[in-house]
């Protein structure tokens, strides 16, 4: 066996995947050829050197950024799905066709009306959609992080004062262990451009984030259930505070929690 034939086989020998005649011929060559034997020793020594490099550590926060991007991608798809459809304007048949000027005027009118209608619908929905989007993203992010809780306590009298010092209102915090929703703690998050209080509850293995923020001037509103990306989201407003409870829990049990709060 020549060196040129032997050298490409050394890797296979080192990995112990070389068998039979090829293996015997290579071993014989390595006994005779000091250069190839040195190469084999070198290759054997390189493996642990590479292993010793270990993995290059990911930058801090990459995990959370990926979670946020996944959540964002999902909601983006949702929004595209729900885009308002342009109305189809029927052209009257039996009438005399309008002149060129009339047609142009009608086109302008139709464009104006439909874009106006679209703007109205979008403007109305945009704010709600932004809140849903932010709450969903914050929830998913909290699940991806190691520590979704900044103040960990099952005692409402520990969690509430901590939150009161950090947001502009006093959120409702209850320990609902007896009802099967133990309080895990609280944290701050950022939704719709403002700092919000988050109370974290647990139901069996499901984490529930209850977001709360002040909405001045808004009347009370009944709970509204939204299901998005498999997460149930219940929003309601009471005494000037808007709440959004979100979890992968089934929506019935989430509504039970809403009633308890």
- Residues lying near other proteins in the complex (CB under 8 A) are found at 7-12, 14-15, 17, 38-39, 41-43, 45-47, 49-59, 62-63, 65-67, 69-70, 73-74, 77-78, 81, 143-144, 227-231, 248
Give the shortest CB-213-to-other proteins separation in angstroms: 25
Other Cβ atoms closer than 10 A to 84:
12
C-beta closer to other proteins: residue 14 or 156:
14
Q: How far apart are CA 34 and CA 155, in angstroms?
A: 74
Q: Which residues of 225-243 are buried (b: 16+ CB within 10 A; e: fewer)?
A: ebebbebbbbbbbbeebbb
Q: Residue 5: CB partners within 8 Å, gap ≥ 6? A: none
Query: Given the complex with other proteins, which of 27 and 39 has the nearer CB atom?
Result: 39
Q: Between residues 75 and 242, which has the closer beta carbon with respect to other proteins?
A: 75
| Structure token digits, residue 123 | 């403007």
Q: Judged by CB, which is closer to other proteins: 80, or 222?
A: 80
Q: Which of 190, 241, 194 is nearest to 217 (CA)?
A: 241
For the CB of residue 184, give the shortest distance to other proteins in the complex, in Å.
18
Q: Give the residue from 190, 260, 228 showing the smallest Cα distance to 77.
A: 228
Shortest Å distance, C-beta 171 to other proteins: 26
Give least dist CB 233 to other proteins, A. 12
């Amino acid at each position: 066996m020549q060196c040129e034939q032997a050298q490409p086989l050394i890797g296979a020998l080192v990995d112990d995947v070389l068998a039979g005649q090829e293996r015997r011929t290579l071993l014989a060559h390595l006994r005779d050829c000091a250069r190839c034997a040195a190469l084999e020793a070198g290759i054997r020594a390189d493996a642990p050197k590479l292993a010793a490099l270990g993995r290059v550590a990911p930058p801090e926060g990459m995990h959370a950024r990926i979670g946020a991007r996944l959540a964002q991608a999902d909601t983006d798809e949702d929004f595209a799905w729900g885009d308002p459809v342009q109305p189809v304007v029927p052209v009257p048949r039996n009438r005399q066709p309008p002149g060129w000027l009339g047609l142009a005027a009608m086109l302008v009118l139709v464009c104006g009306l439909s874009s106006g209608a679209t703007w109205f619908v979008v403007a109305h929905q945009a704010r709600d959609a932004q809140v849903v989007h932010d709450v969903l993203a914050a929830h998913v992010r909290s699940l991806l992080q190691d520590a979704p809780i900044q103040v960990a306590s099952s005692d409402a009298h520990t969690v509430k004062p901590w939150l009161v010092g950090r947001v502009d209102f006093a959120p409702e915090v209850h320990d609902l262990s007896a009802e099967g929703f133990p309080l895990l703690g609280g944290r701050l998050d950022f939704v719709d451009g403002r700092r919000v209080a988050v109370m974290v509850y647990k139901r069996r293995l499901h984490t529930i984030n209850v977001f709360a923020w002040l909405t001045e001037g808004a009347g009370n509103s009944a709970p509204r259930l939204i299901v998005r990306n498999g997460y149930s989201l219940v929003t309601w407003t009471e005494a000037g505070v808007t709440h959004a409870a979100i979890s992968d829990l089934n929506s019935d049990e989430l509504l039970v929690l809403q009633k308890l709060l």
